[in-house]
Amino acid sequence: MQKSKLTPDPIRDAPDGHGNGQSPGPVSVIPGRATRDLRFAQYPMTFFVLSYCCSHAKGYTATFWVNQRTIAKDVNISQQAISQHFRKLVTWGYIEKLRKEDNRKPYGKQGALWRIIFDPTMSHKDATAWANRQHLQEEEEQQAVNETIKLVQKGAKGQQQKNKIQPILPVDKSVDNFKDTSPSLSDKDSSDKVQLVQVDKVQLVSKHLSRTIDKEISKNDCRRLCSQYSQLVHKRWGRGFRHDLRQEHLAEELLKMGYEVDTFIADADKLLEYLFKKSKQPPHSLQYFIARKNNQAKPMEPMDMLKQTISRKKLNA
């Protein structure tokens, strides 16, 4: 990324007169053993390339996608020289290639995937398992929520699951909203006006997800929800669910949206069983269930209903 006069950043910008680039983040973590490796004294440019890769590495997993051509352009040396530095770093045990590049893909090129080796005794599989146990940041949690929702919504052959289609009320009769709909109406008149909201009907619920009657939610219920959810995760993946005050606040939000502790646990148990059979990771935050609840409440568009009907016919054919 290049420096910009519109958005100056003294923390990430190269010093004036000594470069036009901007680092992807404010700090860069480099393997500690590299600072004591005397081979870098003979090849200082190799150490520079390592620090460049570390600045692009993702937190916890330490993976990066920056290619050699981009590095060569930024540091103003040839791509062949960058390739030689990469080979040294691979031989010395500081980086490894996890996925080869593929230029034959029909919908664009797939770049190589690399990993910074901070701990030589830890394989990529072990590092990934350790990273999944760490607390995600807000952006990573939301991304995980969105990806999991897409996976759950997919059914056989990529089609969406069979959701219940809400019946459409007939609209061939005009509705007079100004006519008296008090209990004095006859049974026949009231039955003909199914579209009208009748008065003094306390059982009617508004269209919002929140409860119509405010109910005090105890902290014990929030803690019990988090604890039982943690037990469900531990039963399948062998590790618990790390919950803190923030997760308890999210649990309180779920209870306000209409869940009871028992109904939430029953719903979560089915979802976790599905993810476990698909070899997927469980949701790292209760924010996933809030987003899932909101997504289920969205009314279906006519085009979505048509696609769903076609999907059902294909599956039944």
Identify whether 59 is part of a domain. Answer: yes
- Pick from 120, 118, 114, 94: which is nearest to 40 by CA? 94
Do 148 and 292 lie in one domain? The reply is yes
Residue 298 has a pLDDT of: 63
CA separation for the pair 82, 273 (Å, rounded): 46
Do 160 and 77 lie in one domain? The reply is no
CA separation for the pair 240, 167 (Å, rounded): 42
Do 235 and 150 lie in one domain? The reply is yes
DSSP annotation of 33: G
Do 153 and 253 lie in one domain? The reply is yes
Could you list the beta-strand ranges (E) of 8-100: 63-64, 95-99
Do 112 and 143 lie in one domain? The reply is no
Per-residue pLDDT tens listing for the chain (317 residues): 677 776 777 888 888 888 877 888 788 899 999 999 999 999 999 999 999 999 988 877 788 888 888 899 888 899 999 999 999 999 999 999 988 887 665 555 667 889 999 888 877 777 666 655 555 555 556 666 777 777 766 655 545 445 444 555 554 445 555 445 445 544 445 445 555 544 545 454 444 444 444 456 788 888 889 888 888 888 888 877 777 888 888 888 889 888 889 999 999 999 888 888 888 888 888 888 888 888 776 666 666 666 667 766 655 55
Last residue of a domain, one of 74, 108, 132: 132
CA separation for the pair 205, 151 (Å, rounded): 31
Do 216 and 267 lie in one domain? The reply is yes
Identify whether 55 is part of a domain. Answer: yes
Is the Cβ–Cβ distance between 240 and 226 less than 8 Å? no
Range of the domain at 72: 32-132
Do 88 and 149 lie in one domain? The reply is no
Residue 48 has a pLDDT of: 94
